[in-house]
Every structure is written in structure tokens, then in C-alpha cells.
Amino acid sequence: MNGLWQSLQEYFAWPWMLLAIPLPWLLRWLWPAKPDETIPALRLPQSDARLPVVPGLASIQRGGNGLALIAWLLLCIAAARPQTLGPVQAPPQTGRDLMLAVDISGSMEQQDMRLGGRVVDRLTAAKVVLGDFLDRRSSDRVGLIVFGQRAYAIAPLTRDRESVRSQLRDAMVGMAGRETAIGDAIGLAIKRLRAQPAEHRVLILLTDGENTAGVLTPAKAATLAKAENVRIHTIAFGAEDQMLSMFGIAIPLPGMQAGIDEESLRQVAEQTGGQFFRAQDAHSLAGIYAEIDRLEPSSSEGQALRPRIEHYWRWLLAACWVALLAGGLRYWRRRK
């Protein structure tokens, strides 16, 4: 019995609709037909007179009733939604596996960025720009690494961009230490991307300083990334000169450099096949992420699927034709 029910479930979407098939016989048993009393009996004065009998009326009636039952059977089958499985298909998907590495060291609290007419710190500006960038990466799996003195993966590779955005929003300056471990952040990204297809591995690293902590140097980390086919785009973020914020006004301090190791970041990008960018304000940073966003995505196959092909309309059409034929026979019998 279980095997029969399983077979029905494989072919019908709603196999329980087949339970309605015996309904006409059940109704006939509960409410048996009564003699037709609408036409009075015709009495003739001659005792031996007989009305002419039209041959075949009884068989036509039985045929009409049989066709009506066949129409009901076809209708029940159509209501059960018969289906078959189509060929296996793997829909194409576009996108990358992107790791975002964001510097949250002590220098990221420097207030030298303008956003919406007000002066904000570097991390706040980076969060706003990265939020817009995430909105445009609907086909990608995105992960998030934050680093200071140490590097931490706070969001794994996922298509849930809202989760990544939430983790980025909660990141605070100094929560990973006040120093900067650029090499360790690259090393952690390599570990997270190693299991992904080689052509999809991309790291976008944003920092405003130079490597002052950690085990790996940026040069050594770049060598490892190249061996693992991880492409790294590096972004040096911060004003050209250090700024002093007073009463909401950013005042540049000439002669005091921002302390960004641009040469090291450029070498990391070139060695891994990525690009180096320099952003001095929030507007240029947004343009950089927009340029990265225009990179040609790589194709990959999605999860293999077997679509279900509906056949109910065939049975429904057959039921309609049989019902019309049964109605035509019934009308012809009454005319006779």
C-alpha cells in the first residue's frame, strides 16, 4: 500500500484528489433515483394499442451515463495534477566569491572625511560606501574580515548581504587592536577563499596605514595569494595630509603625512593580478568601488534542477470533450 501511494505521489502533485473518483457511485447509493413522475402515463382507449418504441434509446441512455462517468474520472485525474520530471538543468549564475577586508585600527578614527556636509571619521565613511557596494553585488557571495592588530573573519562567504552589512555596521575602531596587520588579513582571506573555484577568488582590502603587526608581511602574504590564485585589489584610504578636526571642521596639517604605505599596497595588487587604488575622500572611494563593481563577472553553474512538467491540461481538455459528447447524446435522446 505504501508503495502504491509513493508511486502516486511521484506522478501526481495532489494524489488525494483521486479519492473523489467514487463520489458519483456513493451519491447514487445514498440517494437512489426515483421513478420519473413528471410525465403522466398515457392511456389509450384501445386495450391492445401500443406506442411505437424508438429503437436504441436505452442503449443511448446507458452510453450517455457512461460518458458522464468517464468525464468525471478524467476531471479527477486532472485535479490531481499529473506531472513528469523534465531533463536535469543547471541554470547559469554569475558572480564572484568576494572577501572584503576593512581596516579598523586606531588610525581609522581620524576625522578627515566629509559625508553629507559634515566631517566624519574614516571608518564611518568606509561603511557608507561599502553599504552601497554591497547593494550592487546581488550575484556574489560576500564575506567580511576586519583587522587591526589581529585579523578576524566576522562574516563568512554568503549571499545574505544584509547579514554582512549588519556585521560591518557593528564594527568599531580599535575592537581588533590599535595596530595594523595587513599581511595577516590577507592570509586569513586566503584561508577563507581556498575552497572556492580559482577564478572566483577576489579580495578587496581597504587600509589607511602600513603593516605594523602580525606574523605575515604584505609581501609574503601576496606570494601566498598568488600561489592560491587569489586576486587582491588594494585601496589606500585617507587624506594626503593628516587632518585636525575642530568644531566639526577638518583642518589639514601641512607636512604631516598620512602614513600610508602605498608602495607596499601597489606591489601586493600587481603581484596578484589586482589593481591598486588611492582614495583621499569618500567621493573618490565610492568611485573606486564602482570601478571594481564593473569588473567582468565569471560564470558558474547553479544547483542542478529537474523541472516538473504539468500535464493536467491534457486530462482537463479530454474531460471537457467527453462531457460535451455526453450532453449531446442526452439532448438527442430527449428529442427522440
Q: Letter for the amino acid at 12? A: F
pLDDT in the model for residue 45? 58
Write down the pLDDT at residue 37. Answer: 46
The pLDDT score that the predictor gives to residue 8 is 74
| Per-residue model confidence (pLDDT) at position 176 | 92
- Report the relative pairing of strands 231-237 and 201-207 from DSSP bridges: parallel
Structure-model confidence comparison of residues 80 and 330, the more confident one: 80
> Residue 17's pLDDT band (boundaries 50, 70, 90)?
confident
Average pLDDT, the chain: 81
Residue 166 cell numbers, joined: 549588519
Distances (CA, A) of 52 to 48, 59, 336: 13, 17, 12
Q: What is the mean pLDDT of residues 103-132?
A: 89
Q: What is the mean pLDDT of residues 118-132?
A: 91
Q: Flag whether pLDDT at 42 surpasses 60.
A: no
Asked if residue 268 has pLDDT above 90, the reply is yes
Mean pLDDT of 117-139: 87
Percent of the chain with pLDDT strictly greater than 90: 34
Residue 62 scores a pLDDT above 70: no
| Residue bearing the bigger pLDDT, 285 or 116 | 285
CB count, 10 Å around CB of 135?
11
Mean pLDDT of the region 53-82: 75
- From the CB of residue 264, how many other CB atoms can be counted at a distance below 10 Å? 20
- pLDDT over threshold 70, residue 71: yes
- pLDDT grade for 303, boundaries at 50, 70 and 90: low
Per-residue pLDDT at 39:
45
- Cell 544584509, residue? 162
Write out pLDDT tens, residues 200-256.
789 999 998 889 999 999 999 999 999 999 999 999 998 775 554 444 444 454 443
- Residue 332 grid cell: 438527442
Residue 94 — pLDDT band, cuts 50, 70, 90? low
CA 49 to chain centre: 82
- Tell me if 189 sits within 8 A of 146, measured CB to CB: no
Give yes or no for residue 257 having a pLDDT over 50: no
In this predicted structure, the answer to whether residue 122 has a pLDDT above a threshold of 60 is yes
Confidence check: pLDDT of 44 > 70:
no
Which pLDDT value is given to residue 266? 94
Query: Residue 60: what pLDDT?
Result: 57
Task: Tell me what pLDDT residue 135 has.
Answer: 85
Of residues 96 and 21, the one with the higher pLDDT is 21
Q: What is the pLDDT of residue 248?
A: 47
3-state secondary structure of 235: strand
